[in-house]
Structure 1
Amino acid sequence: MPVLAWSTIDTVLLDMDGTLLDLHFDNHFWLEQLPQRYAELHGISRAMAELELQPLFEQHAGSLNWYCLDFWSRELNFSVRELKLETAHLIALRPDADTFLQAIKQAGKRVILITNAHRDSLSLKLERVELAPYFERLISSHDYGYPKENPQFWSALEADIGFSPQRSLFIDDTLSILRSARDFGVAHLLAVRQPDSRKGPRDTEEFAAVEDYRALLEGL
C-alpha cells in the first residue's frame, strides 16, 4: 500500500463500480443473469446464449456502447435496467469506502465521481448506496460522449471542472483507464487489488493498488 503525499493532492477522482462498490453485482449481472435471461427469451441453452453474446461483448468492449443500458436494451430487445432491478440487493459498498470518502471530504479535498456507468445504472446504485453526499459532482462519461478510456474524456473533464491533473489522485479498477489518465498527466494513480469480493486479488501490473481504504488516510 502506498503512502500518499496528501499535501500535493487537491482533487480526488473516483471510479464507482469495482472501486467504491463491490464489482460482484456487475460481474454477476453480465456473466450470469443477462446470459440466462437471453437464453430463456430465445429458447436456447445457456451455453448457446453465451456463444451468441460473446462477439457482441467483444465488439463493444471499451466503447461508450458497452456501458450504455439503452444500447443493450435495443440490441437484446428487453429492458436491461428492469433486469438489473431483479438483483439490485447485491449492490454494496466496498469495505471502508465510506470511511475514506468522509475523511477526504472533511480534509477539504475536491471529491468527484467519474464513472463510465450509464445514468440509469448510476441512479439505480445511488438509490441503494448513499454516495451522493460525499461528492462535489457525479459525472458519467455519457455526459461527455466519450468513455474514460478515450483521451477526449479527460479533456472534457478538465474543461468542465477545471482540475489540475498534476495535483489529482485517481482511483479506478480498470488498468486501461488508469493508463489513459496517466497519458493525460494525472500524477497520482491507484488501481484496486480486489474489485470483486467473490474473486481473488489480481495483478495490477505497473500500478500500486488499494487494498485497505483506511491505510490510504495516513498523513491526510
Structure 2
Amino acid sequence: MVLLPWHEIDTVLLDMDGTLLDLHYDNHFWMEHLPQRYAELHGVSRTMAEMELQPLFERNAGQLQWYCLDFWSTELKLPVRELKLETAHLIALRPDADTFLAAIQRAGKRVVMITNAHRDSLSLKLERIELAPYFERLISSHDYGFPKENRQFWDALQADLNFDPARSLFIDDTLPVLRSARDFGVAHLLAVSEPDSRKGPKDTGEFEALGDYRTLIEGL
C-alpha cells in the first residue's frame, strides 16, 4: 500500500494515458491498428508496413513530434485523426481513477493534468471520458513546445502554474518522464505499475509502484 504524506502535498500533477486512462487504446492503435491501415491504404503487406514504421517510431520516440498527430499524418501520408476514431471504443478509464480524482478534489488539492498527448488526442479522449471537471488545468506539452521528458517543459510549467515542486505529487507511467520531474525537484513521485490492462505489471524502476488508486486516498 502506498501511504502518502498528504499534509505535505498541495499540488497533484497527473498524466493521462496509462495513468488515468488504460494505455491499451494507445498501444493497440499504434502497434496494431495503424500498421494495418497503413498497409491497406498504401497497398503494401502488413510485414512491409511494420518494417517501414518501426525505424520511424524508434527515431522519434521521446520527442515532441512522437506525440504529434500532425507530424504523423504528414510523415505517413495518413489521416491519423480519423484513424484514431476507428478504435475510440477502446478508450477506458483505469480502475478507480475517478474515485481518486473526486477524493483529491474534495480534499482541496490543486489538481492539474499534464500530458504529452496532442490536443486532438486529448479532445478525443475527453469526449468519451468525463475528466475535465476534476482539473484546474489541462496542459498538453505541445502548449509549451517541449515534451515532459525535457527539463524545459518543467521550467515552462513552473512559469505557468507557479507551483512548489517540493509540495507536489506527480503520477506517470513513463520512467524518463518521472526522472525528468525528479531532476526538476518534484518531491513525491509514483509510477503506474500496470498502465496497459492487457499487458500485466511492468518494472517501475527506482520509483514506488502504484497499482490501486483506492490506496492513495488513505489519510486524505
With structure 2 as the length reference, what TM-score do the two structures score? Answer: 0.99
Distance in structure 2 (CA, Å) of the matches to 1:8 and 1:158: 18
SS at match of 1:104: helix
- Dislocated runs of 4+, deviation >4 Å: none
Instruction: Name 1:154's counterpart in structure 2.
Output: 154
Aligned to 2:53: 53
Counterpart AA for 2:72? W
Compute the displacement of 1:217 (Å).
Answer: 0.6
The root-mean-square deviation of aligned C-alpha atoms, in Å, is 0.5
Matched position secondary structure for 2:128: coil
**Consecutive unaligned residues in structure 1, runs of 5 or more:** none
User: Does the residue aligned with 1:7 lie in a helix, a strand or coil?
Assistant: helix
Q: Which residue is equivalent to 2:215?
A: 215
Q: Which amino acid aligns with 1:154?
A: W
Deviation at 1:158, TM superposition (A): 0.3
Identity of paired residues, percent? 80
Corresponding residue number in structure 1 for 2:200: 200
TM-score (norm 1): 0.99
Which letter maps to 2:93?
L
* Post-superposition offset of 1:48: 1.1
Q: Encode CA deviations 1:100-144: one digit per residue, 9 max, x unaligned.
A: 000000000000000000000000000000000000000000000
Partner of 2:103: 103
Equivalent-residue separation in structure 2 for 1:102 and 1:79 (angstroms): 36
Moved more, 200-209 or 121-130: 200-209
Q: What per-residue deviation string (whole Å, max 9, x for no partner) do you get for residues 131-173 of structure 1?
A: 0000000000000000000000000000001100000000000
CA distance in structure 1 between the aligned counterparts of 2:203 and 2:68, rounded to whole angstroms:
28
Amino acid at match of 2:36: Q
- Cα distance per residue 1:2-21 (max 9 Å; x no partner): 20000000000000000000
- Deviation of residue 42 (structure 1)? 1.8
Letter in 1 for 2:2: P
Query: What are the within-5 Å matches in structure 2 for residues 71-82 of structure 1?
Result: 71-82=71-82
Shift of 1:78: 1.5
Instruction: Provide structure 2 residue ranges, at least 5 long, that are not aligned to the other structure.
Output: none
In 2, the alpha carbon distance for the partners of 1:118 and 1:156 equals 17
Residue pairs, 1:127-206, within 5 angstroms = 127-206=127-206
For structure 1, which segment, 42-51 or 10-19, has the greater mean C-alpha deviation from structure 2 after superposition?
A: 42-51
- Measured in 1, the distance between the counterparts of 2:200 and 2:21 equals 16
Secondary structure of the corresponding residue to residue 26 of structure 1:
helix
SS in structure 2 at match of 1:57: helix
Aligned to 1:125: 125
